[in-house]
Structure 1
Amino acid sequence: METISKIELWADTHHPKWIDFIRVALGLFILYKGIIFIANTNALMQLMSNNDLQFFNLALAHYVAFAHLVGGFLIAFGLLTRFAIIFQIPILLGAVFFVNINQGFLSAANNLEFEISLIVLVLLIVFLIYGSGKFSLDHWMKNHPNW
């Protein structure tokens, strides 16, 4: 626990203000992908069309949709950012390794999904370390505890 506190202290002292705009854009992009995912849930069902795992596929679709919608909102506003990112990382690991392995890495048919998934995964890891920053609800609530 002491190591986590040291990392958080280091990240708070070395957090540039411009990176908060990237966090907001990342959160809005994840929220957008959640909306697109809800509009096109059949794509996931076709991708994972194993009849033996039908309940698992349905549960996974609901998890991804909920995590993207709520997590994107929380990341964009900087509220419980690290907590929201922890729920996003397994989804992006699955997108980078499992989904793109079936479609082929860096293929033309992939339409940049692998690259976008990889960039989002790297940004999530960066914000897991750096936290939400000064332009966030976390920072505001820390400075105004009695409001």
Structure 2
Amino acid sequence: MGLIKKLNKWANAHTYLLLDLVRILLGVVFFVKGIEFMNNYQEMERLASPFQEWPGGMIFLHYLIPAHFVGGLLIVVGLLTRWAAIAQLPILLGAILTNFLGQMDTNNLMLAIIVLLTTLFFAVYGSGKHSVDYYLKMQQ
């Protein structure tokens, strides 16, 4: 718990509006990807085809859409940002693996790598000053 307090103090001392906007954009990307996967099930099935033979492959598919919806909303408002970002990491690693195990699509690979790096940053950095987490902390 001490590590999280140190990270929060550091993040609040080094927060910028631009980082909050990047956090909000990241959450919107997750939410829109969740909608895209839900509306285009055939594309999601095609992307997940390399994982069909793996144990838990179907569980992963059922985890993907709700994790994108809930995680995206939490990241947008800045509530439990670190936990929401950590929940996205298996999905992003799967997105990168899909390109190497299935059909290579460089656009999807680059998007997945950029989103993975941004998500890792916010998993460490946290939500910043312009967030529900900071507001709730200040109300105590």
- Please classify the TM superposition score into its range, dividing by the shorter chain length: 0.7 to 0.9
Q: 1:118 and 2:113 equivalent?
A: yes
CA contact (8 A) 1:100 1:114 kept: yes
Taking structure 1 as reference, are residues 122 and 50 closer, same or farther at Cα in structure 2, changes over 3 Å only?
closer
Pairing of 1:44-123 with structure 2 (within 5 A):
44-46=44-46, 47-48=48-49, 56-96=56-96, 98-101=97-100, 102-104=102-104, 110=105, 112-123=107-118
Taking structure 1 as reference, are residues 3 and 79 closer, same or farther at Cα in structure 2, changes over 3 Å only?
closer
Match of 1:9 in 2: 9
Partner of 2:17, secondary structure, is: coil
Aligned-residue offset at 1:135: 1.1
Aligned AA for 1:123?
T
Aligned AA for 1:74?
L
Match of 2:39 in 1: 39
Q: Which of 118, 123, 136 is the aligned partner of 1:128?
A: 123
Aligned-residue offset at 1:51: 6.3
Q: What count of residue pairs does the alignment treat as equivalent?
A: 138
**TM-score between both structures, scaled by the size of structure 1:** 0.83
In the alignment, structure 2 segments of 5+ residues that lack a partner are: none
Stretches of 4+ moved more than 3 A in 1? 1-5, 49-53
Taking structure 1 as reference, are residues 51 and 65 closer, same or farther at Cα in structure 2, changes over 3 Å only?
closer
Percent of residue pairs identical: 38
CA–CA distance in structure 2, aligned partners of residues 51 and 136 of structure 1: 39
- Give the structure with higher Rg (CA): 1
**TM-score between both structures, scaled by the size of structure 2:** 0.87
CA–CA distance in structure 2, aligned partners of residues 22 and 129 of structure 1: 14
Aligned CA RMSD, in angstroms, stands at 2.0
Aligned-residue offset at 1:49: 6.4
In the alignment, structure 1 segments of 5+ residues that lack a partner are: 105-109
